[in-house]
Amino acid sequence: MLNMLLTGQISVADTAQAGELTLSYWDLALKGGWVNLLIFILSLIAVYIFFDRFFVIRKAAREDTTLMDRIKDYIHEGKIESALALCESHDHPVARMLGKGIRLIGRPIQDVHAAIENAGRLEIYNLEKGLAALATVAGGAPMLGFLGTVIGMIKAFYDMANAGNNVDITTLSDGIYTALITTVAGLIVGIMAYFAYNILVARVEKVVFLLEARTSEFMDILNEPVEEE
C-alpha cells in the first residue's frame, strides 16, 4: 500500500512537472481565446499611441529661449514681416501661435488676443490626439478581461455539467484557464495604459502652461508701445 501511494505521488509530481515544462507563456495566452486576442490588439494600440504622442509632446515642450526676445526686438523696430518670418521658420506650437497674433498686429488688441487663444487651443488639440483612445484602452481592457472571466466560468460549469459523475480537475481546467488568464491580461494592459495616459496628460499640461506664459508675454509686448506714448 505504501509503495502504491509513493508510486502515485511520484506519478502526480512527474505529471505536474511535465505540465510546467510544456505549458509556455504562449500556450497560456492561447487559452485566453478570442478575448485575449482583443486585449493584445488593445495593447498594441496603447503602445503606438503612447510613443507617438510622447515624442510629439516632448518636442513641443522644447522651445527656443531666444524666440521671444527676437520677436520683441523685431516688433519694436517695426519689422513685422521679419517677426512673422521668424515664427514661420520654427516648427513649434509657440511659434505658430505667436505667428497668428503677429499677422493681426494693427487690429484691436482683443482680436489679437482671441486669435492667439484660438490658435493655442488648436495646438493643444493636436497634441491630445489619441489620448481619448488611450483612456478607452485603460478602461476597456480590464472590462474585456472580466468578460473573459465570465466566459471561462460558464465554460467550466458547462463542461462540468456534461461530465456528469466523471468530473475532475482536467474537466474544469480549460474554463478556469480562460477565466484567470483573460483577467490577468486585461488588468496588465489596463494598468499600463492608465499610467501611460496620465504621463502624457501631465506633459500636455506643461505645454499648456508654456503657451499661456508666451501668450501673456506677447500681449505685454504689444502693449508696451501704447504705454510709452
Q: Do residues 183 and 228 make contact, with C-beta atoms less than 8 angstroms apart? A: no
Q: Examine residue 2 and state whether it is found in any structural domain, yes or no.
A: no
| Cell triple for 118 | 484660438
| Single-letter code of the amino acid located at 83 | A
Is residue 155 within 8 Å of residue 178, measured between CB atoms?
yes
Domain that holds residue 155: 34-224
197, part of any domain? yes
Q: Is residue 196 part of a domain?
A: yes
pLDDT reported for residue 140: 92
pLDDT on residue 165 = 66
Cβ neighbour number for residue 29 with a 10 Å cutoff = 16
Residue 21 in any domain: the answer is no
User: Per-residue confidence of the chain (229 residues) as pLDDT tens digits?
Assistant: 334 333 444 343 444 444 444 555 555 556 657 788 888 999 999 999 999 999 999 999 988 888 888 988 888 888 889 889 998 888 889 999 999 988 888 888 888 899 999 999 999 999 999 999 999 999 999 998 888 888 877 777 676 666 666 656 665 666 677 777 888 889 999 999 999 999 999 999 999 999 999 999 988 888 864 444 3
DSSP E strand stretches across the chain: none
- pLDDT value of position 8: 42
Q: Is residue 96 part of a domain?
A: yes
Q: Is residue 159 one of the residues assigned to a domain?
A: yes
Does 25 fall in a domain? Answer: no
Q: How far is CA 196 from the centre of its chain?
A: 5
Partners of 215 in beta bridges: none
Spatial separation of the C-alpha atoms in residues 45 and 141, rounded to whole Å: 11
Side chain identity, residue 125: Y
- Cβ atoms of 145 and 181 within 8 Å: the answer is no
DSSP per residue, 27-55: HHHHHTHHHHHHHHHHHHHHHHHHHHHHH
pLDDT of residue 9: 42
Please report whether residue 6 resides in a domain: no
Q: Indicate the number of domains in the chain.
A: 1
Query: Cell numbers 499661456 correspond to what residue?
Result: 212
Give the span between the Cα atoms of 229 and 227, in whole angstroms.
5
